[in-house]
Amino acid sequence: MPLLPPAMQGLIQAKAASVALAGSKFMDLAGAIANASCQYILMSSFVNSTNIALGPGAGTQTGTIQGLTPSGMSALMLAKAASQGLAGRDIRKLFDAVSFGVCNAMKTVMVQGTVIGAGPGTGTGKIVGLVPTALEAFLYAQGLAKMLSGTKYTALISAIAFGVCNHIMTVGTAQLTDIGAAAGPPAGPVTIPAAPGIGRLM
């Protein structure tokens, strides 16, 4: 299942409702966060992997994202918000809801890529390429489209972008299955213990 803004927005809103977090602008905020996050993550991230595979050969790889935790992502958002003097009665609830939506939506994402120099096997990848200030720009543009702005909004999206990007790149892993054909004798098959791979989130 791809990373879809309506699904992420629904998860954010469901978590918010469970902790009695609401407001006239909350649906717009959840929509802006989901649209910007999905668009930016899919456009900018890629997966670098190391694979134990048979070769020489050429293979493709598929996999899923693991390791993300809403509490960890929310903690990064809270720390960034505190550094900017942003506080409030419900800010933890807001960050918890956003993190719940992003992390659970990411569980549905598929990784697709290629293994370089090898065929069948398994691998582990790391997500790279995400820049908080770039996601912040996406969030700002989405907010303007929904009439969300102001000094506090700028600080809020800075904290959200910081938490999303750094948590995904720090603890997110891709568990991969490599598919392909290895060369037969006399060239192979031989085990290649660290075949590189590269993939994208879909």
Q: What percent of the chain clears pLDDT 70, i.e. is strictly above it?
A: 100
Q: What is the mean pLDDT of residues 46-52?
A: 98
Question: How many Å separate Cα 152 from the centre of its chain?
Answer: 24
Q: How do residues 117-165 score in pLDDT, each as one tens digit?
A: 999 999 999 999 999 999 999 999 999 998 888 889 999 999 999 999 9
| Cα-only R_g, the chain | 19
Instruction: Tell me the H-state helices in the chain.
Output: 5-18, 26-44, 70-83, 91-106, 132-145, 151-171
* Residue 46 lies in domain: 5-201
| Burial class for 111, CB neighbours closer than 10 Å (0-12, 13-18, 19+) | buried
Q: Is the pLDDT score of 1 beyond 70?
A: no
Question: How many Å separate Cα 145 from the centre of its chain?
Answer: 23
Q: What percent of the chain clears pLDDT 90, i.e. is strictly above it?
A: 91
CA distances from residue 36 to 6, 105, 122 in whole angstroms, order as listed: 12, 13, 32
Q: Is the pLDDT score of 180 beyond 90?
A: yes
Q: Which two tokens stand for residue 196?
A: 């590189």
